[in-house]
Structure formats: C-alpha cells, structure tokens
Amino acid sequence: MAKNSYNESSIRVLKGLEPVRERPGMYTRTDNPLHVIQEVLDNASDEALANYAKRIDVILHTDGSVSVKDDGRGIPVGLHPEEKVPVVEIVFTRLHAGGKFDKKSGGAYTFSGGLHGVGVSVTNALSTKLAVTVWRDGGEYQIVFEHGGDVTQPLKKTGKATGSGTLVRAWPDPKYFDAPAVPLEELKRLLRSKAVLLSGVTVTLTIEKSGEVINWLYQDGLRGYLQETLDGAEPLIPYFEGERYVEEGGTGDNFAAGEGAQWVVAWTEEGAIVRESYVNLIPTSAGGTHESGLREGLFGAVKGFVELHSLLPKGVKLLPEDVFARASFVLSAKVLDPQFQGQVKERLNSRDAVRLVGSMSRPLLELWLNSHVEYGKKLAELVVRQAQSRMKAGQKVEKKKGSGVAVLPGKLTDCESTDVSRTEVFLVEGDSAGGSAKMGRDKEFQAILPLRGKVLNTWETERDRLFANNEIHDIAVAIGVDPHGASDSPDLSGLRYGKICILSDADVDGSHIQVLLLTLFFKHFPKLIDAGNVYVARPPLFRVDVPAAGKRPMRKLYCLDEGELEATEDKLSKEGVREGSWQISRFKGLGEMNAEQLWDTTMNPNTRRLLPVAFGALDVIGTGEKFNMLMGKGEAAQRRAWLELHGNEAEADI
C-alpha cells in the first residue's frame, strides 16, 4: 500500500466550529485578536444602529480578556422553534446563524453589518473562554463556553433585571494569533469611529491595568470627526456635508427605503489626506464601491460646474482623480444587503452601491456649488491645477519612452491615455471575447489584446527563442518591456500599461490559459509581478435572474463559481424569494457576454473583481520549484505524486 494513500477514510468532515479552528485565516485576521473583538462590537453597534441601544462599554481586562456591553434588547434566550436549543447558544456555536438574515418587514435588523451569521461564532471558536450575560424580559441569564466553543455552563437564569442588554466577555486564544494582545491604539480608533457614526450613543473604553477611562460622545457627527482627524488643516472651501436616504415607497431607482449615505468632504491644498468609509457601521479600510460612488458623484458635480461657468482652459481634460486628489472624506453608507470581500469585510463589493452613493451625493454638491459660486470657483482652480500637473507628468513619460518603440501589434486596440498610473491592457482569450471587450471597454484608459488559442508553455523556452511565437511577441511589444530573468535589472521605463490583466473564460480551458500566461510572466517578466503590474480578472460563470418581489424590483446577480451560486441561492431563499422562481444562466465563455455585461462584471473598475498577482508566502525560489514541478516537461512523475497527495487542494492556489 502506498505510504500516502488516498481513499474513503481520507475525507474528513468538519463539524460545528471546527472549520474556524482549522483555518482561522479564512474567517478573520490572525495578526492579532482585534477583529474577533470587533465582531462582538459590531453586534452591539447594530443594536444602536436600530435605535435600541444608547451605550456601548468596552473593558480591557488585566488577564487579556475583553468585555463588550450594550443596553440593547438582549439576545433572545428562549428555545429556537426549529432547533429546540436556546437562541443565545445557537448564535455563538453555529456558523451562519443570526438575526441578520431576516430582512423582511418586521425583521430584527433591516440594516446591519452582520450578514453571514459567522461573526461572534468565530470569536467563540478562537477563544479559550467566552461568557455571555443577557438582561431581558425582567431576568438575568448567563451561558459560558470554553475550549473553542464547548458549552461548559448551560444557559441559566441567575437573577432579576430591570433593564435589557448583552455583555460578552471573551478570552482570545493566543495560539491562533501572531500577537496575543489587542492593539490599544487601533481599538481606540475603532471605538471613536463607532461614536462618530452613532449619533447620541456614548462609547466608553476602560483599561483596567492603568485605570484609564475614555468616553466618546460626538454631537457634531462626521464633520467634527473629520475636523479632528485633519488636525487643524484648513480646508480650501467650507466642509461639504450631506445626508440622503431613500424614503418609504422608493424612488424608482431600484433602492429600498432607508438605503443611502451620509458624508463630509474637505478639500485641502496641503497636508495629509484622510479617507474613511463605513457600511452599516462596519469600517471598510480597503474602500469599495460606496467610495467609488462618492468619487463619481463629486466628479460629476464639479465637472458640471466647471463646464457651466466655462472655467476649463483649452486642451485640459478633467478626470475623476483630479477632483479626488486633495479630497478628504468620511463616508457612512447604509446598504440593505451589502456584499463584502471576505469575512473581514474590509472592502464593499456591492455593485449597486456605486449608483446609490453617486446619485445621492451629486445633486447635493451641484446645488451647493451653484449656491456658493465663489467657493465653487476656488475649488475649480484647485482641480484644474491638478489636471494640468497630471498632463504635464504624462507628457514627460511619453517623451522618455517615445523613441525606438517597436511597431505595435495590429490586433491591439490601444487606449487614448498614456498615463501609466491609469492605463490597463486586457489579454483576452479569443477574438469573440475580444470583440465584446473592445465594445464594452472605456477607450480612455483600457486597451484590448486578443490572443489566439492557448499560449505556448514557456517554462523551458530559451529567452532568445520566445519571439518565434507570435502571441508572446505581441504581448511583449504591447506592454513595452523586454523579457528578462529574476536576477536581471530590466528597463521598465517603456512600460505602457500600469495594469496587465489576464482575462479568460471561467472554465477549465480558461484556467489553463491563465496558468500558461502566469507561467510566462513569472519566468520571463518577473519584475512586472514584483512591481505589482500583473492581475487576473475574474469573470462570472453564472447569471441569476431574480423576479420582482415586494420592494425589490427584478435583479440580475452574477456569481463567480458554483460555490458563490449556491450561496446566492441560499441568500435569496432567506430573503423570502420563492424557491425556483429565479432563472440561472451559465456563460459558456466570455464571447457569450454582451459588451454591457462584460463591462459591468469584469472591466468596470468600480464593480469588477481583479486579483493582483504576487509571490505570496513562498519566496521566488520556492515558487520557481513549484512551477518547475507543475510545468516542467520531465516532471510527470513528480506531478502525479503531488496530485495524489494534494488533489483535493488543486482549486485553492492557482
């Protein structure tokens, strides 16, 4: 029998909270325990967001544990009607269980940061001990978990209560985190932001070791917060504040009542730029589509004002980054069903959020600028200066790379801009998909290079023989960089595109083409990977057509793969959409998508999913050894052994 056998007994089924303990990095950040504490804090914040809580108190205990207390409604303690287990126990021990799924009228939470019912169960799974005290319906109740989620003290009534609320005390398990302690300054920033976004809610932090108690209660809301964070920097014009939400009955823009945003923006001529955004009180440190919506709204309003008053010099073209370059902002969006990138929720991916925030912010800024024309002209001067500086820098780059450039491939559909910080080229599989991409692209900064068939496996191809292959020759000439090795110092000044995006079908053949192109870049253009210029575009494999229901109009939802399709169907069922009423279409290839679909799902910078290619946990040498095993012509035996050992992981790491 083989030493590493693969049979029926090799398959292990993880139950309960085991998946979290086995792969904690899939559910939370593991550099320190702050995010697992934030999950508890988010639940308390959701009570405040729903107008049921007016205080959130956090204690850093000397033994390393953290307590979060709110005066909300208290987690229900009765038996779940189906599971016949206390609800508070289910919330802390079951993945995908919580009160955030019920979005229908009368649900516990209409707007919340919690979406998947994963948050506090992850906190429990990664803690040595977790104790929950609930005050509700005149009684005090307590339940205790230990050893990563085991109930060691079942729920019991411990006394009477006059108020209501929830207290969670967690002891994060150090073995799951790089650093065992919650970083104090990051926690302070997080709590302060909660106080800013929850007008009228008092947030406190008690540090037992030093005896320090900090209170936050912001009466000036976002403006006071931004003013404090800018540290006295004087804005060029008064702060632009706005708040707008969809009223009951909707606006006909496919948004639900209550959706919208609140923001404050300041333009400064010097000093640091401050940009913070939130979705349903969840901090989105990596931004996302709500920030893109604010960017579009501000750009549209300023551009309209500049054109109306003829303030744009001849030959100058405004771009969104000219308006945004010196803009600081705090943005708080309310989205009914936000789609985040990953469980840590650092980036919002909801496509509708672009239009939601853009449509809310643009009219208000247009009105403000035209009501304060002098301030509008001062802002226009700043924006025009930014545009002129950008164009001047672009001209310098063009002169530097303009001489001796090879003739560009005839099938390359180039873009108009020469600003490498903006330009991107899509290496597209096939002429059919290339046609859709050409029609759907933004010709200002997006270029298309169709590839015919599968690219040559270049892992063992000598550099001086690369150009014998037409496809590789065209790629090298189009991007403006010569092939090189990992130890070389190539001239990257001729680089024509800041982003080189591999765009192939979302099927097995498409994945093969993707791997062949990644092999080419790793072996013969490694400095482009090192510099962060290579990306993989992720087109959807499925489209789900959802009929109109209640306040929701007809929707088209896109899913990357079968896993995401299953999650989408599960979500629709929980929303109350009738099972089987939606239609599922599978894209056989990119060529089946029309230009509008390809733009919306794969090429629009505001809504696409673009993965940067980097060396990751392995160093260059380790990655090279892995590539040699996978792509080398004489490595069939080693590949077979690897597949027998890791065949069930093949999907995880391309």
pLDDT in tens, 326-349: 999 999 998 887 888 765 667 888
Structure confidence by residue, pLDDT tens digits, 193-226? 889 888 889 999 999 999 999 999 887 788 888 9
DSSP for 354-410 reads HHHHHHHHHHHHHHHHHHSHHHHHHHHHHHHHHHHHHHHHHHHHHHHH-TTPPPPPT
Give me the amino acid identity at 391. M
Query: Which of 359, 220, 259 has the alpha carbon at shortest distance from 300?
Result: 359
Exactly one of 47, 429, 471, 482 is catalytic; name it.
429
509, 545, 570, 651: the active-site residue:
509
Other C-beta atoms within 10 Å of 296: how many? 20
| Tally of CB atoms within 10 A around 371 | 9
Query: How confident is the model over 20-33, as a mean pLDDT?
Result: 77
| SS3 label, residue 441 | coil
The pLDDT tens digits for 489-519 are 888 888 999 999 999 887 777 888 888 899 8
- Band of pLDDT at residue 460, cut at 50, 70 and 90: confident
Q: What is the average pLDDT across 580-601?
A: 84
- Read off the pTM: 0.58
Q: What is the reported pLDDT for 576?
A: 81
* CATH domain 18-216 topology: Heat Shock Protein 90 (3.30.565)
**In Å, how far are 84, 421, 491, 493 from 400, measured between CA atoms?**
72, 15, 12, 8
> Helix (H, G, I), strand (E, B), or coil: what is residue 651?
coil
Question: Is 31 among the catalytic positions?
Answer: no
pLDDT digits (tens, 9 = 90+) for 523-565: 889 999 989 999 999 888 888 998 887 777 888 888 888 888 8
Whole-Å CA distances, 591 to 164, 504, 585, 588: 58, 10, 14, 8
CA atoms within 13 A on the CB side of 627: 22
Residues of the chain with CATH 3.30.230.10: 221-249+256-395
Cα(190)–Cα(35) distance, integer angstroms: 10
> Is 507 tagged catalytic?
yes
Catalytic residue among 296, 505, 569, 600: 505
Q: What is the fold, at CATH topology level, of the domain defined by 221-249+256-395?
A: Ribosomal Protein S5; domain 2 (3.30.230)
User: Of how many residues is the chain composed?
Assistant: 654
Map tokens 């990051």 to a residue: 186
63 is catalytic: no
Which of 208, 307, 507, 562 is flagged as catalytic? Answer: 507
The CATH 3.30.565.10 portion of the chain extends over 18-216
649 is catalytic: no
Listed in sequence order, the residues at least 6 apart from 572 whose beta carbon sits closer than 8 Å to its beta carbon are 544, 546, 582
State pLDDT tens for residues 409-436.
878 889 988 889 899 999 988 776 778 8
